[in-house]
Structure 1
């Protein structure tokens, strides 16, 4: 498996994903630029992108293609020019179109943008490269830099926790809602008198949850209680929240929120601010339009339900150090954040130049107004120094070339964002979910102990999978959307989540999870990296949940499937593998080996031997 995948596959996958999809998504976010002239306003429509082969400009102005070895020897950066299709549009008509150079992007060695990709061993030697070098790093000004993997809490996932505040235990539910380039933290707190309040970014005061759900469009008390749960004990626990809530209609709720977040402003501004808060600040991963509000209300109900189940002792607090609640971010996600700010700066600068120049227009004026240095310098400086803006330092490190093993170790390193100076005993401890994912013995001594970890050789980092096909499969299997579900399925059924969105309800969650796993094993439209985990407790009336995760950055480990007490990896298959007649990917496709993340492992029986 390692010979096929390579040691630094997680870096290469992440960078390739950024190159193929991430860049285009960032361009599409901007879409078009309006140039407002006094005489004739026009707009620039941004289209497809094209990354060319890595090259450098010589002193005499000529352009030559370069190899990584040459970049190292000549102390230059290994970068590729980035072309963007731009069209001038006037009165809805496209006048002219051209690919314009907007900057250079550092190329990861051995990624699909690199010229060494899929080169034969002898050819690599001719190019002055080591054939067993794994790649996965950048070359900036001749020095090799690695973007070290960064551990982070899972996004879009409700995590309930019991915190000690001043000797009292306070129950909280947190969600880090994240969309491309923007994340917002929502926190629900259960007060002593039973009132649940929500802390939202952009609101200086806590808002009672009943008021918040009402503002999102659920008017009657029954609708709100049903959004949380249909179980009597949980509805009884909501009494404290209903007694304190004195607003009765959605309009009043929005006015209530607007007076709290923008006091002293004109009423229409207040309402505008409140609606922006509901659409943008609250759970942006569910959508940023007014039509997503019902879904947000439903999600808030689920968070409140989980919080009340914790209060009743039906579920245990979530473990922050469980590897199922963690994702690891690599070069792709880090570069996307950087490129987004750089590209926005470029667009702002270009708009200013074009509006100031006035008379000149047409595609050549646009090309002249673009300064490629904005993107090139920002990316190069960040990778060269490791300063990622917003106070994040040490994101990149100089690749450790002491010997071959230290290089491999450095490419599989993972950092935790926690402070090095505080004890954080639990975070530094070895956790049972590290088994097969994180090396138990390779960690530095001293202040970094347990915070800097290394991926196990068997660990694989999941890639991002589009969830559309899975959502269709779920509805095909009979999942009912939360708007048209019957009460008994809602009460006794299983809540189905895909990437943190509540999709609906299904009668028998255990059966659904088994059917989906069977589809994944038989290679029937579900990617092997998708995680399917079913959570239920023995408590009567507690909610059953099934989580389907398609996000990148989860740490997976390969396991051999056992059917009828027999291992599916037979001696014949092992012989075929050793004779190179079958490959590791084929074993996964044929359902002999399965990639399991830490959440799904909770549903598995695993034999050690």
Structure 2
């Protein structure tokens, strides 16, 4: 057994999960965030573009590049920096990040006006692929593969401990670690029974997540057998059947997707009847009107419709898509949630165990950095959009709008540095980044592998 464990740790570091997650963030997720960013007002805007309010003008977001960790001296010269230099000089171990901005004028992509602009700096994890002391970087410099002895010797030359596992960051000279976060799995339906109003209520809930946006949807069965839905940003509950009708399902589709046992059929038919008799909702139009009055009562009809469309396409189950064509899929998903609630109430299924590891997910360094980068990048793009609109309003022509001078690094850097230095993360979480405990080797390893559970 000892030989197996030794062989495993010869191949992988003890903090391999953190390093692998951060490498995935650098290689794949950064580009995904840039390609899916959509800045601008209005419906149906294309992803991967900034849409300023300038007729016939938008900016395409191209490839993103992360350089090697460098430091800029007072003289203005830049040179690569090692982690030890960052520690001794109280610097942040970070690499410059640049993005391609391509203006699109009247539908024509202006490749000749392409600008690769530095948007700011990103803290680099020690021993990750972009780190100056990682094996890949040192082998690239040497132009050949390094043996274990040679790599160890190189690390000692750079004043690094060959046994240090890496997996942490250096911010203003202090070593900081991102604590892994335990979270409920998103996009999974979890059923449970809760005691409310003095009797048992059966519920099914799902945390639907897409690109950092998360929305909680709960379906529950009332005492009288009515299935009610709780939606984000909607004050009161809405009957499930009405939402299904608004999403484009007719009575037959609702029945076929929810009925699994003869006993459940009675409940479904009673729910459909109650919506038609009590709420007078028969068609898709009636359902949209009903929801419109709930979320924007007393407003103009057009505005109410707009709000309902936004609720159905953007807020409800965003992981299934946010186009009008995705509504049927969302309807079927919600109908299956209703089916799960009825089966739980009639004893055909057991409650889901929230504490079971199948229903948990861990947010590693890469996931946490992804959330932080998305917020910082969107803020930078919004600022750039504002600057371009201001320039255009002052009389500059579309061809004269230069991007490079108006990209403000501080908008991006300040958000990332503040979160990394204080541990106050986006979404209101605190204590995400902590000072690495160097009391002993064991306390360091323990801190790098620690998991916090806010549940």
Contact kept? 1:163, 1:172, Cα under 8 Å: yes
Rounded to whole Å, the distance in 1 between the matches of 2:292 and 2:377 is 34
Paired residue for 1:21, among 28, 37, 53? Answer: 28
Matched, 1:4 2:11: yes
Match in the other structure for 2:98: 83
Match in the other structure for 1:382: 419
**Matches for 1:542-581 after TM superposition, within 5 Å:** none
Contact kept? 2:235, 2:295, Cα under 8 Å: yes
Match in the other structure for 2:73: 58
**Matches for 1:442-481 after TM superposition, within 5 Å:** none
Question: How far off is 1:336 after superposition?
Answer: 1.6
Match in the other structure for 2:268: 238
Rounded to whole Å, the distance in 2 between the matches of 1:225 and 1:41 is 48
Question: How far off is 1:36 after superposition?
Answer: 4.5
Contact kept? 1:34, 1:41, Cα under 8 Å: no
Paired residue for 1:188, among 191, 215, 219? Answer: 219
Paired residue for 1:404, among 430, 434, 441? Answer: 441
Question: How far off is 1:34 after superposition?
Answer: 3.5
**Matches for 1:589-604 after TM superposition, within 5 Å:** none
Rounded to whole Å, the distance in 2 between the matches of 1:58 and 1:163 is 61
**Matches for 1:203-242 after TM superposition, within 5 Å:** 203-219=234-250, 221-242=251-272
Match in the other structure for 2:431: 394
**Matches for 1:492-531 after TM superposition, within 5 Å:** none
CA RMSD across the alignment? 1.7
Rounded to whole Å, the distance in 2 between the matches of 1:281 and 1:397 is 34
Matched, 1:114 2:121: no
CA offsets 1:401-433 (integer angstroms, 9 cap, x no match) = 111111111111100114xxxxxxxxxxxxxxx
Contact kept? 2:260, 2:339, Cα under 8 Å: no
- The 1:35/1:256 distance shift into structure 2, 3 A limit, reads closer
Contact kept? 1:193, 1:240, Cα under 8 Å: no
**Matches for 1:474-489 after TM superposition, within 5 Å:** none
Unpaired runs of 5+ in structure 2? 1-7, 39-47, 139-150
Question: How far off is 1:164 after superposition?
Answer: 1.1
CA offsets 1:243-264 (integer angstroms, 9 cap, x no match) = 3211211111111111111110
Paired residue for 2:351, among 317, 323, 340? Answer: 317
Query: How many correspondences in the alignment?
Result: 415
Question: How far off is 1:284 after superposition?
Answer: 0.7
Rounded to whole Å, the distance in 1 between the matches of 2:174 and 2:162 is 19
CA offsets 1:444-468 (integer angstroms, 9 cap, x no match) = xxxxxxxxxxxxxxxxxxxxxxxxx
CA offsets 1:461-512 (integer angstroms, 9 cap, x no match) = xxxxxxxxxxxxxxxxxxxxxxxxxxxxxxxxxxxxxxxxxxxxxxxxxxxx
Deviates more, 1:253-262 or 1:75-84: 253-262
Rounded to whole Å, the distance in 2 between the matches of 1:276 and 1:145 is 41
Deviates more, 1:15-24 or 1:170-179: 15-24
- The 1:394/1:191 distance shift into structure 2, 3 A limit, reads same
Rounded to whole Å, the distance in 1 between the matches of 2:301 and 2:187 is 33
Match in the other structure for 2:179: 148
Q: Answer 1 or 2: which has greater helix percent.
A: 2
Rounded to whole Å, the distance in 1 between the matches of 2:181 and 2:109 is 46
Deviates more, 1:312-321 or 1:86-95: 86-95
Rounded to whole Å, the distance in 2 between the matches of 1:390 and 1:209 is 29
Rounded to whole Å, the distance in 2 between the matches of 1:68 and 1:330 is 22
Structure with more contact order per residue of length (Cα contacts < 8 Å, sep ≥ 6): 2
Match in the other structure for 2:410: 373
Rounded to whole Å, the distance in 2 between the matches of 1:300 and 1:104 is 43
Deviates more, 1:88-97 or 1:257-266: 88-97
Question: How far off is 1:390 after superposition?
Answer: 4.1
Matched, 1:45 2:45: no
- The 1:93/1:152 distance shift into structure 2, 3 A limit, reads closer
Match in the other structure for 1:199: 230
- The 1:93/1:310 distance shift into structure 2, 3 A limit, reads closer
The residue matched to 1:217 in structure 2 has which SS?
coil
Rounded to whole Å, the distance in 1 between the matches of 2:290 and 2:60 is 41
Rounded to whole Å, the distance in 1 between the matches of 2:183 and 2:402 is 44
Matched, 1:169 2:206: no
- The 1:42/1:224 distance shift into structure 2, 3 A limit, reads closer
Match in the other structure for 1:134: 165
Question: How far off is 1:41 after superposition?
Answer: 5.9
Rounded to whole Å, the distance in 2 between the matches of 1:227 and 1:178 is 23
- The 1:176/1:34 distance shift into structure 2, 3 A limit, reads closer
Question: How far off is 1:88 after superposition?
Answer: 2.4
- The 1:363/1:131 distance shift into structure 2, 3 A limit, reads farther
- The 1:209/1:232 distance shift into structure 2, 3 A limit, reads same
Rounded to whole Å, the distance in 1 between the matches of 2:321 and 2:401 is 38
Contact kept? 2:105, 2:398, Cα under 8 Å: no
Match in the other structure for 2:388: 354
Question: How far off is 1:139 after superposition?
Answer: 0.5
Match in the other structure for 2:295: 261
CA offsets 1:303-353 (integer angstroms, 9 cap, x no match) = 111111111112211111111111010121212222222112211222222
The residue matched to 1:265 in structure 2 has which SS?
coil
Rounded to whole Å, the distance in 2 between the matches of 1:82 and 1:363 is 25
Matched, 1:328 2:384: no
